Chains A and B, each alone.
Chain A
Amino acid sequence: MKTIVNGFEYFSPKTLEEALKMLSQYDSEEKEFKVIAGGQSLNLMMKQGILMPECLVSIKGLSELDYLNYDAKEGLKIGALTTHRAIETSDEIQKNFKVLVEMEHNVSSTETRNYGTLAGNFCHGDPGGDPAPVLVALNAIIKMASVKGERTVPAEEFTLDYYETVLGHDELLTEIQIPVIPPNTGVYYTKYSQILGDFALASAAVSITLDDKKEKCTDVRIVLGSVGSTAMRAKKAEEILKGKKITDELLVQAGQAASEESDPTDSVEASEEYKRELVGVLVKRVGKEALERAKKA
């Protein structure tokens, strides 16, 4: 059986303030540390020897960051320690952000969702992760804090590269803010993976907003996952749909454009060519469902 080779110290600050002070101190001492919430990705990477921190700062005990707040005007606020399962089983989210529940059904297994957090998954920065495409499609805002203060960035700008984000060493993601979905808007997400809950070979989230007559598309966001170093907007594909009455033919064209824009790599599961083909099919299908939802919204 695999065990972690390198030892580390384990700290559990009790408040956000204490945690931020700890991060600031370790950062100034140039200690190799990692922040752990549920650890459902981090623990496995330590087991594989990919990450070998000197210490772990466990924030799971910061109950002040475990919340879900919904307001009809301000939208949804998800605390950093809210588990996938809490999101998946929330009636308010099912009613107002159904796509989040659908996304959660794709995240690993119930056991992982019971302990892992949405924010932790997003911070992990795995390009195959499920939250990023959906958070970008929903225009989410990411709130971060350090001893120096707070700042926010759009979800779209949060992930920089494979497993790299804008988070400073001394910073914590504290809250994910999702604005109210605009009127006449439909959002959908799905992915292709070998079995349910596995990492995606390719995934797509699409948000479509129609005009008041529900004819022309006034706004669209097409976000691809697992086919680049981060979740990425397929902007050329979006341009094809914007301002037009969306037809099946136009969705096929958007799919082709997205396929060209995507940047997948060969893996043991599938070739680059196969993944590009998947992107085209996904954008067409997810776009069609988002359009249907926008018409009913």
Chain B
Amino acid sequence: MKQILQFTVNGEPRELLIDPKKFLVEVLREDLGLTGTHWACDTGACCCCTVIMDGKAVKSCSILAMQANGREVTTIEGLADGPNLHPIQQAFIDNWALQCGFCSSGQIMAAKALLDENPSPTREDIQLQMDGHLCRCTGFNMIQEAILDAAERLKGQK
């Protein structure tokens, strides 16, 4: 039996009738067409599907959509301001932190949650926080550089 899911996605209130067995990633991609959130290992092992829920990075493949009821979810689509990329996205491009791009939306969302909580992370803070994210192009070093760079860019904005 379908149930009502009410939540906010990228600042917009949404109301959907969904099967409660659906995961958040399924609803985001299939019901809302937000395919920027990538669906990869499907076992909670790679963090590609990371989104931000109530300020915290979570794996959308490991959370039922109903668990997001009443919550605020931000996906990669919620970061850019019109044609202007978010400073973290721009820092990823400028630091060559993406190759195939498959893990990037998850990496960027986790980086956003990290920088919102800790605007001046050390390299070690980044390694600890981003530990679950797998990049099979082996771009970890550039990703760390991009996050350090993004931290500076965000400070410069204020």
Contact = CB atoms under 8 A, between A and B. Distances in A.
Interface string B107-131: 0001000000000000000001111
A10 B66 contact: yes
Given A1-B39, A44-B62, A197-B131, A115 B1 contact: no
Contact of A43 (B1, B23, B69, B133): B23
Contacts of B22: 3
Given A40-B44, A40-B62, A115-B58, A3 B21 contact: yes
Interface string A93-127: 00000000000010011111011000000000000
Given A43-B64, A111-B50, A112-B62, A8 B21 contact: yes
Contacts of A270: none
B56 interface: yes
A114 B67 contact: no
B57 interface: yes
Contacts of B131: 109-110, 196-197
Nearest to A61: B70
Interface string B5-23: 0000000000000011111
B63 A43 contact: yes
Contacts of A56: 20, 64
A9 interface: yes
Interface in A1-60: 1-4, 6-10, 12, 36, 39-40, 43-44, 46-47, 56, 58, 60
Contacts of A109: 47, 59, 131-133
Contact of B20 (A3, A9, A44): A9
- Pick from A43, A60, A110, A196 the residue with the most CB of B within 10 Å: A110
B42 interface: yes
B3 interface: yes
Contacts of A7: 1, 19-21
B112 to A, nearest CB: 13
A197 B66 CA distance: 26
Contact of B67 (A3, A8, A39, A110): A39
Nearest to B51: A111
Contact of A111 (B1, B23, B69, B132): B132
A39 B59 CA distance: 11
Given A3-B23, A197-B131, A44 B1 contact: no
B58 A114 contact: yes
A276 interface: no
B43 interface: yes
A60 B20 contact: no
A85 interface: yes
Given A3-B22, A85-B56, A197-B132, A12 B44 contact: no
Contacts of B39: 1
A112 B44 CA distance: 8
Given A3-B23, A12-B66, A110-B132, 10 more contacts: A2-B42, A9-B20, A39-B64, A40-B62, A46-B21, A111-B59, A112-B132, A115-B56, A197-B131, A197-B132
21 contacts: A3-B23, A4-B21, A8-B21, A10-B3, A10-B20, A10-B66, A39-B62, A39-B63, A39-B67, A40-B44, A40-B62, A43-B64, A44-B44, A44-B62, A105-B128, A108-B44, A108-B132, A111-B47, A111-B62, A111-B110, A114-B56
Which A-B residue pairs are the 9 nearest by beta carbons?
A109-B132, A10-B20, A4-B21, A114-B56, A10-B66, A111-B59, A115-B58, A111-B57, A110-B129
